[in-house]
Amino acid sequence: MKAWTPWKVAKKDFKIVRRKKSILFYTIGLPLVLAIVFSILVADYVVNASVSDASLGLASLTFIFVILAAVLPTAFASYSIVGEKMEKSLEPLLSTPTTDGELLLGKGLAAFVPAVLAIWAGSLTFMAATDYFTYDLFSGFYFPSWTPGIMLFLLAPLAAMMGVEVAVILSARVSDVRGANQFAGLMYFPFLILFIAGVNGSIPFSVTNLLTISGIVLIVDLVLLFVTRATFSREEILTRWK
């Protein structure tokens, strides 16, 4: 595999999706909007809670960025194959000597990188505002700490990778962007269950639990990677997918 080829594919996808303003706003704008909303919640409610309740509330709000990371790249990834197929821009790429691995990696990077960077930008904005509003409550800065660090810099990228892989698998099998995006959007469901379990204390947001969850998600990502490679067929897309 040539290292520059996936980036070339990703760059091409960036140019194509850049014309889709709704996808760009959804991917880049939503995390920042959430950061502002969460900061207002912290300023209005969390600062008046007890230390234990405030800690749980902040961990819960941070975990929502993980849920968002699982869903955010799916719009980009879904469009990257089925959208290009509909616009007749995929066939020339599939006809090149680019390998399936290079093609899939490039399209995965095109969806993964902007989504994760947007998540980090939004979460860092939220953390900065939180530290400003809750400094007196915690007698110091709540962020950074291990729990949100694992959520945002380990679990969130792994969740985004899972969302990308599922979206690519689906977009290579369905014939319209909306269908691929709707199915891939269900990626929020397992992380929503973890969120509920964390809030009610069934699976607390502890370092050990978060590392365990991250390990499980990593295993799922690796399995999905093999499934993606095994199910992707450029010949079928070129000749039979209408």
pLDDT for 181 equals 61
182-217 per-position pLDDT tens digit: 665 677 789 999 999 999 999 999 999 999 999 999
Give Rg (Cα) of the chain.
19
Using CA atoms, how far residue 189 sits from 6, 42, 64, 91, 159, in Å, is 30, 25, 12, 33, 12
5-35 per-position pLDDT tens digit: 677 777 776 766 666 667 777 788 889 999 9
Instruction: Find out whether 115 and 184 touch, Cβ atoms under 8 Å.
Output: no
Using CA atoms, how far residue 10 sits from 6, 34, 77, 150, in Å, is 6, 27, 11, 27
Residue 38 CA from chain centroid, whole number: 19
pLDDT for 164 equals 86
pLDDT for 10 equals 72
C-alpha angle 212-216-220 in degrees, rounded to nearest 5 = 165
Q: Which two tokens stand for residue 37?
A: 């909303």
- Give which of 62, 65, 70, 63 is closest to 30, Cα–Cα: 65
pLDDT for 47 equals 84
58-101 per-position pLDDT tens digit: 999 999 999 999 988 887 777 666 666 665 556 566 666 677 77
Q: Which two tokens stand for residue 79?
A: 């469009």
Give the C-alpha separation, 31 to 69, whole Å: 9
When comparing pLDDT for 136 and 234, which is higher?
Answer: 136
93-124 per-position pLDDT tens digit: 666 667 777 777 887 888 888 889 999 999 99
pLDDT for 75 equals 76
Residue 174 DSSP class: -
Residue 18 CA from chain centroid, whole number: 18
Q: For residue 128, is pLDDT > 90?
A: yes
Give the C-alpha separation, 154 to 215, whole Å: 10
Using CA atoms, how far residue 228 sits from 162, 164, 194, 223, in Å, is 11, 10, 25, 9
pLDDT for 182 equals 62
Binning pLDDT at 50, 70 and 90, where does residue 154 land?
very high
170-187 per-position pLDDT tens digit: 776 665 556 556 665 677
- Give which of 57, 83, 109, 60 is closest to 175, Cα–Cα: 83
Mean pLDDT, rounded, for 40-47: 90
